Every structure is written in structure tokens, then in C-alpha cells.
């Protein structure tokens, strides 16, 4: 459980800190107050670019007129099996491109964060997840996969790195410098192995997720029948050996060389796989659903996933940006009840406190305004009041 949070020169925050209670934390305040920035900060305590998909440079605070973002830091303290663990991330020089990760003060590879915390998020961008571009949907799904299967993050990033290198080699070749065939073979071998591993992990996660969704039939959220497109995923789902998937991908990459070089894009491989969903009750593709329906489908998927992770040492933490605003009252109440029932830690944003009326007395309410955080409400289980203000 996250017990405190501190930000330094992160986005709109010069310096802010917040003691956090377990369960639901409601961040409310006007547009532009910094609510999403706070969720983004927590989303950086997992490998990747966080919930905005932004670069480390964009995250450093800039005063008007400043061209380069400052050095920034995000720190959280966790309670884990009775022990305190400190996770931190940030950059030490203004404008640095690569953020570093610290666990209990020691520099650590980002993947180690997943030993402690598994943030899962839903943002307004996902309201059109199923009708949106394929790449965004696959990224969303991959994140759900690696919340339960940390190795998947490393697999996907190794795959993407090899894919970029192969394309560079092929496009250099198209400009007259022939690609070194041995290097190309080596890259494609690496790609095929990582690609097969990723496809297998996705397929396994899909089965588990679908089971989780099916077990949630009594909830007032729409259910999805999920599927994965992509030759590698289809082979994995049919029970093929991973070695056979590696072989199929290897041949595919060789065949695609000329086409990829001409197009300047990688047109073959499991980076082009897709998550499909049928709205079960309506028996229609989720892509045709309204944004409210898509949001509810996405939340059901996320809740099924965090439900699987709840109670494990590496704790799931749910980050819901403006989710309640997009749900009707019944689903909103169901969401809040579920967060409580699963004993999840969840940070939720909304412009109006009234959207969270059902949580009054059951959650920590934090008012966010102008880069400052204020939490005057009595905290659940503590009987007293606690307040915290920081300069913005
Ligand atoms: N690097 C940065 N330096 C300084 N300010 C920043 C930086 N990046 C973003 N901001 C500011 O943060 C504010 C946006 O904060 P955020 O997105 O968290 O708002 P919000 O409270 O979620 O608003 P909404 O309700 O509209 O979604 C904007 O005013 C933006 O200018």
C-alpha cells in the first residue's frame, strides 16, 4: 500500500507531498489543477512512459519562458508486509531523456519496480479504446499483461528494440548500402524469439482475463468476449510449441524484408497483433459501442485484472482518470463497492467532489488546486483529521 507520495518539480508541482490512506483516494479540483499529473507520477513507478506516454523531458516542471524541463523526482513510500519500501524515479539533470529508478535509495532497473507495485490505469483516451488505432489497444493490453507477468515488459521492449534496428538496417539497404545479412539474420532470430514469447504471454493472459471477466457476471459492467489477432497469437492459442511459433516468425521476417524496406515500416510481426472484443450482451463488436460502453468494458477488463493481482506482495494500484464522470450512477456505485471489496488502493480524479458522494466517509478526499494538495477530510479508520498543504 502506498502510504505517502512526494513530487519535486514534476509537471505543475514545484514541491508537494501527501500522506495517503489505504483504499480509495479521491483527487478533485478544477480543470488544469494537476490531478492527472498526480496520477501520471504514480504511473511512472512501473516500467514505461506512464499514463500519458510522455518523455522524461516533458515531465520536468517548466516556468513560462523556460525551454527545458527541470530535474524532477517522484517518490512513494510503500507499506509491504510490515516493512517500509521507498520507490523513486526522476532525472538528475534538466532535460535528461532517461529517467532513473531508485528502490530504497539504490539505483535499480525499472523492471524491479514490478516486485513492489503494479499500477494499472484507465484514462479518458481509452473511452474509444476499441474503435481507436490498433497500436494504442495493443499497448493497453500489453500493459495489462505485464501487470501480472513482469517478464512481458522486458520481452516487448527487447522485441521493439530489435524491430527498430532491423528496419534501420533495411532502409539503409534501400538507399544503396546493402544490409549486412549476418546482422540481419541475428536481429531476426532475436525478434522471432522475443515475438514468440510475447505472443505466448499475451495468449496466456487473455485466457486468464477472460476467465476473470466470466467470473464477474454478476456485476453491472458489460462483459467482453476477447480475442487476439496475429498469426503468432493464433498459433499459441491453438497450442503450438513456442519453437514452431519462432520458426513461423523467422520465415515471415525473411519474406517481409523487401516489402518492409520499400515501405520504410515493419509490416510483419506480432507488433501488428490486435485485441478484439465483442460486447457479449449486445453481441456486437465493442468498437461500435458508445464511449460510455467502451469505458465500462475497459473498466471491467481492468477490474478483472487487478482482482487477480489483489492480495499479492506486489500490490496493484488502480489509477482512474475521470472514470466516474463517464459512468452512470449504478456503475459508479458498483465501481466504488468493488474497490472496497477487493481492498484495492485506487486514486481517482474528477472535477466535482459530488461525483464521489457515495464515497463520503469511506475515502480520502484530496482537493487539488494550483499545484497544491489539500486533504482536510477525516481519514477512514484514523478517527482524526490530517491536513497537508504544499507550495505550488
Ligand atoms: N512540464 C510542465 N511544467 C509546468 N506545468 C506543466 C507541465 N506539464 C503540464 N503542466 C501543467 O499542468 C496542468 C495540467 O494538469 P493536469 O492535466 O494534471 O490537470 P487536471 O487537473 O487533470 O485537469 P482536467 O480536469 O482538465 O483533466 C496544465 O496547466 C499544464 O500547463
Of 33, 40, 90, 123, the residue with max ligand 1 atoms within 8 A of its CB, to mutate for a pocket test, comes to 33
Distance 183 CA to ligand 1 centre (A): 44
Phi-psi region of 243 (alpha: psi -120 to 50; beta: other; left: phi over 0): alpha
Nearest protein Cα to ligand 1, atom 13: 32
Q: Which residues line ligand 1 (CB under 6 A)?
A: 11-12, 29, 31-37, 58, 60-62, 69, 349, 351
Point out which residues pair with 347 in neighbouring strands: 25, 319
- Give the pLDDT of the chain (392 residues) as one tens digit per residue: 999 999 999 999 999 999 998 899 999 999 999 999 999 999 999 998 999 999 999 999 999 999 999 999 999 999 998 999 999 999 999 999 999 999 999 999 998 999 999 999 999 988 899 999 999 999 999 999 988 898 999 999 999 999 999 999 999 876 677 778 899 999 999 999 999 999 999 999 999 999 999 988 888 888 999 999 999 999 999 999 999 999 999 999 999 999 999 999 999 999 999 999 999 999 999 999 998 889 999 999 999 998 888 878 888 999 999 998 888 899 999 999 999 988 899 999 999 999 999 999 999 999 999 888 988 643 433 333 333 443 33
- In this prediction the pTM is 0.90
Cα→Cα distances 182→25, 71, 207, 366, 380, Å = 54, 42, 38, 58, 63
Distance 15 CA to ligand 1 centre (A): 15
Q: Which domains does the chain have, with CATH numbers?
A: 1-116+314-392 (3.40.50.300), 150-312 (1.20.1050.90)
Distance 298 CA to ligand 1 centre (A): 24
| Residue 380, pLDDT score | 38
Element (H, E) at 114: none
ipTM > 0.95 for the complex: yes
Give me the helices (H) in 238-282, please: 242-263
Distance 373 CA to ligand 1 centre (A): 14
Amino acid at each position: 500500500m502506498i502510504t505517502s507520495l512526494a513530487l519535486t518539480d514534476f509537471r505543475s508541482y514545484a514541491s508537494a507531498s501527501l500522506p495517503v490512506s489505504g483504499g480509495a483516494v479521491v483527487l478533485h479540483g478544477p480543470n488544469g489543477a494537476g490531478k492527472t499529473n498526480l496520477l501520471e507520477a504514480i504511473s511512472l513507478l512501473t516500467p514505461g512512459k506512464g499514463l500519458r506516454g510522455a518523455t522524461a523531458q516533458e515531465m520536468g516542471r517548466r516556468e513560462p519562458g523556460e525551454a527545458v524541463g527541470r530535474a524532477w523526482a517522484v517518490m512513494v513510500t510503500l507499506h509491504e508486509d510490515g516493512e517500509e519500501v521507498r520507490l523513486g524515479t526522476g532525472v538528475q539533470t534538466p532535460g535528461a531523456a532517461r529517467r532513473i529508478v531508485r528502490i530504497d535509495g539504490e539505483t535499480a532497473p525499472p523492471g524491479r519496480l514490478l516486485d513492489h507495485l503494479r499500477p494499472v490505469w484507465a484514462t479518458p483516451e481509452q473511452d474509444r479504446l476499441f474503435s481507436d488505432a490498433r497500436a494504442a489497444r495493443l499497448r493497453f493490453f500489453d500493459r495489462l499483461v505485464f501487470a501480472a507477468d513482469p517478464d512481458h515488459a522486458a520481452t516487448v521492449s527487447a522485441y521493439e528494440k530489435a524491430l527498430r534496428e532491423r528496419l534501420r538496417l533495411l532502409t539503409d539497404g534501400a538507399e544503396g548500402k546493402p544490409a549486412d545479412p549476418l546482422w540481419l539474420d541475428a536481429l531476426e532470430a532475436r525478434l522471432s524469439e522475443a515475438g514468440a514469447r510475447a505472443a505466448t504471454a499475451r495468449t496466456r493472459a487473455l485466457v486468464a482475463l477472460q476467465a476473470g471477466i466470466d467470473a464477474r457476471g454478476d456485476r453491472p459492467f458489460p462483459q467482453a468476449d476477447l480475442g487476439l489477432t496475429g498469426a503468432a497469437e493464433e498459433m499459441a492459442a491453438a497450442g503450438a510449441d513456442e519453437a514452431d511459433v519462432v520458426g513461423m516468425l523467422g520465415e515471415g521476417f525473411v519474406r517481409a524484408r523487401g516489402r518492409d524496406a520499400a515501405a520504410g515500416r515493419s509490416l510483419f510481426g506480432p507488433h501488428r497483433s490486435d485485441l478484439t472484443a465483442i460486447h457479449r450482451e449486445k453481441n456486437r463488436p465493442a468498437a461500435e459501442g458508445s464511449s460510455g460502453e467502451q469505458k465500462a468494458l475497459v473498466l471491467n477488463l481492468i477490474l478483472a485484472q487487478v482482482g487477480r493481482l489483489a492480495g499479492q506482495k506486489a500490490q496493484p494500484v488502480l489509477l482512474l482518470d475521470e472514470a466516474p464522470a463517464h459512468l452512470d450512477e449504478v456503475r459508479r456505485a458498483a465501481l466504488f463497492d468493488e474497490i472496497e471489496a477487493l481492498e484495492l488502493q485506487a486514486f481517482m480524479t474528477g472535477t466535482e467532489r459530488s461525483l464521489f458522494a457515495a464515497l463520503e466517509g469511506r475515502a480520502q478526499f484530496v482537493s487539488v488546486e494550483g499545484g497544491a494538495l489539500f486533504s482536510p477530510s477525516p481519514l477512514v479508520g484514523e478517527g482524526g483529521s490530517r491536513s497537508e498543504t504544499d507550495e505550488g
